[in-house]
Structure 1
Amino acid sequence: MYRALLMAATAAALVIGGAAPATASPPSSVPGAPTSVQVTGTADHAVVSWHRPRSGARVTGWKVVLTPVHRAHSAHRAHRGGTQTDRLPARARSARFDGLRAERTYRLSVRALGHRGAGRVVSVRWTAPEAQPVAQSLYALDASGAVVRFPTSGAGAATTVAADGAGYAADPNGDVYTPSADLTTIVEHPAGGGAARTRASGLHLTADLRSDGAGNLYWADAVSGAIEQLPVGATTARTVLDLGGPAVGPDQRFWTVTPGGRVVVLGGSTTSPYVKGTGVAARSTTLPGSNGVGYPAAVLADDHGDVFVDIRSPGAAGSWAWYELRPGESALTKVEPRLAFEYAAANADGFSLLQSAGWCAAPAEYPISHTGCNVDRSVPEKLVVGPGGTSTTPVSGLTAGSRGPNTGAADAHGDVFVDVDSGPTPGLWRVPAEGGAAQQLSAAQYSRLSVS
């Protein structure tokens, strides 16, 4: 469920060039005053709209200005220097201003421009409403590659947002972003439907966009290897993490972005892995085992500086195990109580892990095996690792499928979403934060789960 984009607002004051609307009479050599000026918006943005003047010269453009109103005795005193100005073509009938502050008052002014000068200004005072809690949504790719949105509450039907979503990202408003086929443009798919539009172009994308909780977009630059960010409202990207060039040879990189905007990269070889990030100390680490062996398979992180690394064991055993790299430490600490078929996810506050009750080595599943892998794959509990320590809650109704890191997604509340690819309970599942009965959202298969 995505946030409603517009909330009706009442114009508190209307001023036209210092004269009352009924008596204002601009010269015929310049356009008249715009009419029907209205403002709508939310706690962080405003949209001002208007109609053409009823008289005056031909309009060649518009000047629209947003200015914070200084209120000396207000507890919510607006900061100075926050003026935003837009110059728009004659066909424009609205302008949007982002980066506003909840419960602050602003003046939005519109005036028509002509060949011989500007018409009179119409100004509207508007106060941004109180910020409202945002209901998050679950996003995933279906079997056709389309981006599908589910309510994280588990109640409500799924909605297809974009038809070709390989490497998609989504923001808190419900807008979805995908890379173009030539990997040079980020395409925006509006939450409410409508035509897709260009968000930014001239880029070196890889087919793997990410987003944080504010809606900033991230990707690994295909030329430089650096992690790039496209801030909310911007059209120009900036480098947030320089990795010294693209990955070459044994340097394999796995990366993630936390809801708070921390970028974490796990890279290097199996003998010399490293962790780098924004808000995370760069350091070398060692893989588990007496000889430091294993193969990194995935990385997750929270907003407290904890990094979680999935390691695939060497040889035929076919085990995957999650380890924690705590702030300031270079040694990995195993967080799993046992080997298992499992599913992992992270949110701002920590790491969640769903493990099967039983496990078997991979050779037991080979056709030549005479014993088979007849273990208990039901998931009995959810393990949570956070700043307050480790806790478990009971889970029922879910049975694990194949082995692997099987990374899912978690919302701010702690609900975990996973896709089970095989076994008696295949499909997309929601495990409540408090545990209990797992809820099946769909019997179909989905990949690349995320929450925004």
Structure 2
Amino acid sequence: MRDAASGLLGVLRAVPECQHVLSRGVGATERVGDTVYKAVLTAAVAAVLIAVGVALPAQAVTHSSTPGAPTVVRVTGTGGDADLTWRAPSSGAKVTGWRVQITPAEQQPDQGVDRLRASARSDHFGALTTRTTYSFTVQATGSRGTGPAVTVRYTATGATSDPTTQSLYALDASGSVVRFPSSGTGPATTVAPNGAGYAADDRGDVFVPAPDSTSITMYPVGGGAPKTIATGLHIRGGLSADVAGNLYWVDSTTSIPMKLPVTGAPARSAAAGAGTPARGVIAFGRDGTVATLEGTTTARTATTIAPNGVVTTRSLTPAAEGTPFNRLTQLIVGPQGDLYFTDTSGGGAGYQAWNELPAGATTTTPVDDRFAFELVAANSTSFFLLRSAQWCAAISEGSPNGCNIDRAVHDMLVRDADEMTRAVSVSGVQLTTRFPFPGAAAEDGVVYVDIADGATPGLWRIPAGGGAAQQLSTAQFTRLTVM
């Protein structure tokens, strides 16, 4: 027992914070900067256990060729978010970077591994699942290898799959970004003016490109002062964000998809290496996947950039042999990297047919089983397709008798990641346009859509599982986002 106590005392003396505690004596208190140190032995022991992990003897041994273990590693969280902090090692080789990993890694970009610059001392993780315990491991990297790992744990008390932790964002008629309460009722709050091309992350921070598309301003979720986080950019088509808070866009000068890491590193190509220009229709997924579709009626190519930067290109064939592709109009990155896209029929029909390209496949699969006016949305688990009761060809709307059909939403097709499809009844809204205007889906399956005109204009909430639609506002909103 005496040997064990002496060993622990030696470890305590090896940690800077504990040296300060031991020198002051048990029960002493001192304020240094904004930190109060209280020399309580049990607190000191706990700090050492947090700093060096579970296996004290193994993790206390370092080699001069690699950095030592990070110290004072802590994780704090609120709901589905967690923030990891640490300090530099007290021994070992020079730190050239950090490797941080979360386990389990579902819904996390880069398979749950972040590689940060040497000056980093924190990392943020979002999209955590309620009542799941996560392990966070941090290691210092050096020129000759990686040092010992320190692991801490956090159990999420709420997550983005919980409707109380997600909010609906949109652009109002004045061009401002507004946030609707997560409860689905109540007035919207203005977050940022001149918000064209905005994106929001899972923490609630909102990012807006400058009017000249050369910089990005962040509006913090807590309402603090906005700040510019990147300059010297060339943004085309607005911003997108993944669940970790990384930002994406297409460079207007090179057509290369770009990524601005949440770690604060400079913007770079989303692809590993020099980068691949985006051709055709492009979409960004919540997991950090970048996808493009291009081609003609006889040949089509799908290119995906995985969250780790690996580029994959596939040559596609239509679902029915000998059937040509139609004109591409919209692309969505769905659950688990599946791609959903529209083929617009030629001639006077004006029909938007939705198809799926499963991850890794080269043959497309039709999603629709009948003609309809449609609105779509997707979350991390499902693709949602709202469909009218009836449909008519575009050319009929110009005929003397018009297009007198039932445009009310009849049902919502829900296609899950396992490619199982079900239809749920929906009532209360009517679709008036044959062009795809996407909605937004929360992780619990609630779908939000904006109806531009007709009998039921305004912003609507479709409950998970279908049923009667609930109107949130009679005003018009665009660029719906749920985070």
Q: TM-score range by the shorter chain?
A: 0.7 to 0.9
The alignment status of 1:318 with 2:350, answered yes or no, reads yes
Structure 2, unmatched stretches of 5+, are: 1-16, 38-47, 61-67, 72-85, 89-118, 126-132, 138-151, 160-164
Following TM superposition, by how much is the alpha carbon of 1:324 offset from its aligned partner in structure 2, in angstroms? 0.9
Match for residue 189 of structure 1 among 214, 219, 229: 219
The alignment status of 1:18 with 2:34, answered yes or no, reads no
What residue identity is the alignment partner of 1:174?
Answer: G
**Map of 2:414 onto structure 1:** 384
What residue identity is the alignment partner of 1:320?
Answer: Q
Match for residue 99 of structure 1 among 123, 142, 153: 123
CA distance in 2, matches of 1:322, 1:105: 40
The answer to whether the 8 A contact 2:335-2:383 is kept is no
CA distance in 2, matches of 1:209, 1:413: 24
Secondary structure of the 1:18 match is helix
User: Alignment identity in percent?
Assistant: 40
The alpha-carbon distance between structure 1 residues 292 and 84, as it changes in their structure 2 partners (threshold 3 A), is: farther
RMSD after superposition: 3.5
Match for residue 35 of structure 2 among 37, 43, 52: 37
Following TM superposition, by how much is the alpha carbon of 1:312 offset from its aligned partner in structure 2, in angstroms? 1.2
What residue identity is the alignment partner of 2:122?
Answer: D
The alpha-carbon distance between structure 1 residues 68 and 224, as it changes in their structure 2 partners (threshold 3 A), is: farther
Secondary structure of the 1:304 match is helix
CA distance in 2, matches of 1:363, 1:347: 34
CA distance in 2, matches of 1:315, 1:38: 74
**Map of 1:80 onto structure 2:** 69
What are the residue-to-residue correspondences of 1:279-428 with 2, within 5 Å?
Answer: 279=306, 281-286=312-317, 290=322, 292-366=324-398, 369-388=399-418, 389-428=420-459
State the 4+ residue runs in structure 1 displaced beyond 6 angstroms. Answer: 21-25, 100-106
Following TM superposition, by how much is the alpha carbon of 1:67 offset from its aligned partner in structure 2, in angstroms? 11
**Map of 1:205 onto structure 2:** 235
Following TM superposition, by how much is the alpha carbon of 1:259 offset from its aligned partner in structure 2, in angstroms? 2.1
The answer to whether the 8 A contact 1:270-1:287 is kept is no
1:13-68 residue CA offsets vs partner (Å, 9 max, x unmatched): 9946832599899xxxxxxx7344269xxxxxxxxxxxxxxxxxxxxxxxxxx996
The alignment status of 1:272 with 2:299, answered yes or no, reads yes
Secondary structure of the 1:365 match is helix
The alignment status of 1:226 with 2:256, answered yes or no, reads yes
**Map of 1:155 onto structure 2:** 185
Following TM superposition, by how much is the alpha carbon of 1:150 offset from its aligned partner in structure 2, in angstroms? 1.5
The answer to whether the 8 A contact 1:256-1:299 is kept is yes
The answer to whether the 8 A contact 2:124-2:244 is kept is no
The alpha-carbon distance between structure 1 residues 104 and 412, as it changes in their structure 2 partners (threshold 3 A), is: closer
1:126-183 residue CA offsets vs partner (Å, 9 max, x unmatched): x986433231111111111111112343133211111011111101111100111222
The alpha-carbon distance between structure 1 residues 13 and 193, as it changes in their structure 2 partners (threshold 3 A), is: farther
Following TM superposition, by how much is the alpha carbon of 1:302 offset from its aligned partner in structure 2, in angstroms? 2.1
For these two proteins, the number of residue pairs brought into alignment is 372
CA distance in 2, matches of 1:229, 1:204: 12
What residue identity is the alignment partner of 1:436?
Answer: G
CA distance in 2, matches of 1:271, 1:197: 48
Q: So what's the TM-score if we normalise by structure 1?
A: 0.73
CA distance in 2, matches of 1:427, 1:170: 22
CA distance in 1, matches of 2:209, 2:225: 16
What residue identity is the alignment partner of 1:282?
Answer: T
What residue identity is the alignment partner of 1:433?
Answer: A
The alpha-carbon distance between structure 1 residues 284 and 105, as it changes in their structure 2 partners (threshold 3 A), is: closer
